[in-house]
Amino acid sequence: MIALNHTHDASARSWLASANAAGGDFPIQNLPHAVFRRAGHSEPFRGGIAIGDQVLDLAALAARPLLEGLALDAARAAALPALNDFFALGGRAWQALRHAVFALLRDDAPAATVEALRQCLVPQAEVEYTVPARIGDYTDFYTSIDHALNISRLMNPDGDVTPNFRWIPTAYHGRVSTIGVSGQRFHRPMGQTLAPGAKAPTFHACARLDYELELGIWIGAGNAAGAPIPLAQAEDHIFGICLLNDWSARDIQFWEMAPLGPFLAKNFATTISPWIVTMEALAPYRLPWTRPAAEPQPLAYLEDPGNREGGAIDIRLEVWLESEQARRGGHGASRLSRTSFRHQYWSVAQMVAHHTVGGCQLNPGDLFGSGTISGPGPGEAGAIIELTRAAQSPVTLSHGERRGFLEDGDAVLLRGWCEKPGHARIGFGESRGTVLPAIG
């Protein structure tokens, strides 16, 4: 677990005024990474760091005599069009770059430094983003007990989670090719579904399209095949976290998934936020990871004092829906739910330890989905199937429209941030994806 240091000091200010704005996502204490270019230009994508309403262009920064040593090596790697090499450098390099950039952006930087840095800034309003690393493997977990119970109880009001849920951070291996960055637009998928009582399935456009509120966990340094990552060291292998929407076709899913898990129901689109908030930036918002005494306690390889002490993370999360009608009428998006990642049954470190315990190799740039994040209270569900109990109780949007599942033209926005008295508020930006009509 990363210790608090001067880069977490809530009183630190930047010479860039927009970084000090109350309620902003990107103060000097955050410094998340993305890959970007000026929108509408054919210039190459390169790595950047968010500060206020600007992107610090790391390629431009690395070309100036402002960094040295490990921080310069890290900046050169983090400036590339994919962050895999930067991830592979490991925690010392990630930290060296963060601390060097923090010093350059702080309000006590020399005037000449400020002048040089201003040459490296690009307004966020003028850029477009891409998926920030070459993702070799994508694993989607299932680690919210409230989500798992909500889904189970749709079938049976007295239902429980499957017995393995309380012992294993379960997951399936997902599809990389359709992971897109915020702004992704995709067609409603076609597929087989089995109507209630029917003997044979039919083929048509998904009628029960859903989103899943998740976080994306970026693997930094990997491990060798056959060398499991112990839980106590698991976080050394995590670079940071983004927002992730695991779009889901529920009618296709419920027909196809037994016994081998989701397939077409999940492989048509996954939308991530462009910015990756580092584990170092998240350090102030760590909470004890707890397991109620009445629940099974983890097996030894999933148990560790450090995980108990700070394995959970209080990341506040919201889901918003903007329909086509709302867009046309200028009504804006409606909030569907809000919760926190703190309620998750398994921690990110336990996901890493369990994933590798059989000898599986993780590589820099691998991506984990946290699994749908639902909290215990009303309005904390991370999927519309839970909120509406599979369309039995539709939600009403702020301008009066109703939804059981998603309709064509709907955009789903995920937002996330951390805040705590005595610490700066840091945000994740946004993940936005839009449903287009089915093809054909």
Residues near Ca ion (CB under 5 A): 140, 212, 246
Yes or no: say if 186 and 222 are a contact pair by the CB < 8 Å rule: no
Q: Which amino acid is at 97?
A: L
Kindly name the residue from 33, 147, 237, 355 that is annotated as catalytic: 147
- Taking the least distance from each CB to Ca ion, the nearer of 74 and 414 is 414
Please, which residues have CB within 8 angstroms of residue 359's CB and are 6 or more apart in sequence? 225, 226, 227, 228
Q: Which amino acid is at 312?
A: A
Taking residue 263's Cβ as centre, other Cβ atoms within 10 Å add up to: 15
Give the whole-angstrom CA distance, residue 181 versus residue 144.
24
> What is the rounded (10 degree) CA torsion for 355, 356, 361, 364?
60
Yes or no: say if 354 and 343 are a contact pair by the CB < 8 Å rule: no
Beta-bridge mates of residue 334: 321
- Taking the least distance from each CB to Ca ion, the nearer of 73 and 212 is 212
- Taking the least distance from each CB to Ca ion, the nearer of 54 and 182 is 182
Give the whole-angstrom CA distance, residue 344 versus residue 376.
10
147 a catalytic residue: yes
Give the whole-angstrom CA distance, residue 54 versus residue 19.
9
- Taking the least distance from each CB to Ca ion, the nearer of 212 and 386 is 212
Shortest spacing between CB 153 and Ca ion, in angstroms: 18
Give the whole-angstrom CA distance, residue 235 versus residue 230.
10
- Pick from 269, 144, 141: nearest CA to 217: 141
Yes or no: say if 239 and 217 are a contact pair by the CB < 8 Å rule: no
Shortest spacing between CB 247 and Ca ion, in angstroms: 9
Retrieve residue 216's tokens. Answer: 């994306």
Shortest spacing between CB 315 and Ca ion, in angstroms: 17
- Taking the least distance from each CB to Ca ion, the nearer of 24 and 180 is 180
Shortest spacing between CB 150 and Ca ion, in angstroms: 13
- Taking the least distance from each CB to Ca ion, the nearer of 129 and 247 is 247
For residue 202, the SS3 value is strand
Beta-bridge mates of residue 129: 36
- Taking the least distance from each CB to Ca ion, the nearer of 246 and 280 is 246
What does the DSSP assignment read for 74-117? Answer: HHHHHTSSSSHHHHHH-HHHHHHHHHHHHHHHBTTS-HHHHHHH
Shortest spacing between CB 349 and Ca ion, in angstroms: 19
Give the whole-angstrom CA distance, residue 149 versus residue 228.
31
Shortest spacing between CB 24 and Ca ion, in angstroms: 30
**Residue whose beta carbon is closest to Ca ion:** 246
- Pick from 324, 323, 206: nearest CA to 269: 206
Active-site residue list: 147
